[in-house]
Structure 1
């Protein structure tokens, strides 16, 4: 559509003046520039076909939905405080104020989940099932994505961090070996701990079915050659690398439909 009002692309953050041709997403009330939409189509794995509507059931979930709701809640609360503080100038204060970083972080996280979710959905087939944004019973936490393949289950945590992911190893001879996940200079080892907890929760449900954890960094500074690695059994990679690995999980003994039903029943949409 042609925008009536100026906006910002939710994927690349480019400014979109009024009158610009863009894509409006009614569900999230956000816009995408045409370039991002085209890039998303071109980057889809060429050997995979989009799923038929029948291959995606109603309870597959919507990627990033809970993070998007939390962002909208925080944004509305921030704007309400500004309006109360500035009275009749509240509207102007809202228009001129930048979003608080804690609020913006939820939007960034939602975008990461949405982008990865779209790529995973494009892989849907009779041999692969994908669930998004699943609530962990008895916890406030959720699982971003769950992929069920003939070889097992993948528990996937999507992150939209800047910087280059790398594995730092300390000790190993005299001292105990310690593996740390760094993104840029930021110690993100706790993200691995979180994925391992999610893997354990899913494994408790499915028993002998193999469960693999993955941390997928959507916009990290990955090198042109190599870059992906594993730490404590968790794959650390980017979306294209992840979908390639999942596409290779074609031969196995897992009943995808049966396991999907069990997982979807236990982990409801968040």
Structure 2
């Protein structure tokens, strides 16, 4: 592309005047010379597509159901499908994909100093990590949940005679297993960062939930339970660290491939 503004080649450091033809690397929002004399070869990690694996699972279940119904009812299959909805277990995958896509859009509000990976496989398991954000304040492991009009709340038991235990409630129902899922993701990401990892935060981010007007966010066993706008604020305003963001971005992209 022809640069609208002056810049610097991120490989060799050469000054690039406005109007110069250069390569714009969208993933890192940097530019480099078309014929850079730097001998370092860089491969931009694949950032992934938010919600991709959940949407594939939804389509697989939907197609399987359609095939079963049309096979069992050759003449009335189309009518049955038109008059009935997918089961909740199938719709949940579509809702999950939408939640990941919406949060990915919100994460574009992060400054250029952050790098984000979406929909990452956890090797050796069938699980995935919705989003991993790497920035000057640390590494943020984020699980997106879309629970429309349901209120997340902290429920505490014990603390005086009995040991204190913390639980997550969502619309009055126990959702503590979601906390355990983020803790597992957090452990895997921390292990992948090596012997001296930067601060790593686990986040359960609820979209379209019934949050109160005042307060609302909390932690359960060290996992932040929060909404998107406040999450961006916390990520950018936390204490900055000495972090090589690009190196950690590449390391985590290799450790957790795109789903």
Check 1:67–1:136 CA distance in 2 against 1; reply closer, same or farther (3 A cut).
same
The yes-or-no answer on 1:211 pairing with 2:184 is no
Match of 2:26 among 53, 64, 67: 53
Match of 1:128 among 102, 105, 114: 114
Q: CA deviation at 1:88?
A: 2.1
Task: Give a deviation string over 1:104-135, Cα, whole Å, max 9, x none.
Answer: 0100111101100111134251x100000000
Q: CA deviation at 1:82?
A: 1.3
Q: Quick one: distance in 2 between partners of 1:134 and 1:268?
A: 5
Match of 1:262 among 248, 251, 256: 251
Q: Quick one: distance in 1 between partners of 2:111 and 2:98?
A: 20
Q: Quick one: distance in 1 between partners of 2:226 and 2:256?
A: 25
Instruction: Compute the RMSD of aligned alpha carbons.
Output: 1.7
SS at match of 2:126: coil
Q: For residue 85 of structure 1, what is the aligned residue in structure 2?
A: 72
SS at match of 2:75: helix
Task: Give a deviation string over 1:62-99, Cα, whole Å, max 9, x none.
Answer: 00000000000000011111111221222222111111
The yes-or-no answer on 1:224 pairing with 2:224 is no
The yes-or-no answer on 1:197 pairing with 2:184 is yes
Q: Quick one: distance in 1 between partners of 2:25 and 2:192?
A: 28
Unaligned 5+ residue runs, structure 2? 1-23, 30-43
Q: Quick one: distance in 1 between partners of 2:25 and 2:169?
A: 39
Q: CA deviation at 1:214?
A: 0.3
Q: For residue 233 of structure 1, what is the aligned residue in structure 2?
A: 222
Q: For residue 149 of structure 1, what is the aligned residue in structure 2?
A: 135
Q: For residue 55 of structure 2, what is the aligned residue in structure 1?
A: 68
- Aligned residue runs from structure 1 range 155-174, under 5 A: 155-162=141-148, 163-174=150-161
SS at match of 1:88: coil
Q: For residue 36 of structure 2, what is the aligned residue in structure 1?
A: none
SS at match of 1:227: coil
Q: Quick one: distance in 1 between partners of 2:215 and 2:73?
A: 52
Q: CA deviation at 1:151?
A: 2.2
SS at match of 1:169: strand
Q: Quick one: distance in 2 between partners of 1:154 and 1:179?
A: 22
Q: Quick one: distance in 2 between partners of 1:213 and 1:119?
A: 17
The yes-or-no answer on 1:180 pairing with 2:167 is yes
Unaligned 5+ residue runs, structure 1? 1-50
Q: Quick one: distance in 2 between partners of 1:54 and 1:148?
A: 13
8 Å Cα contact 1:55/1:124 also seen in 2? no
Could you tell me the TM-score, scaled by structure 2's length? 0.81
Aligned pair count?
Answer: 219
Rg larger for: 2
Q: Quick one: distance in 2 between partners of 1:131 and 1:236?
A: 20
More helix per residue: 1
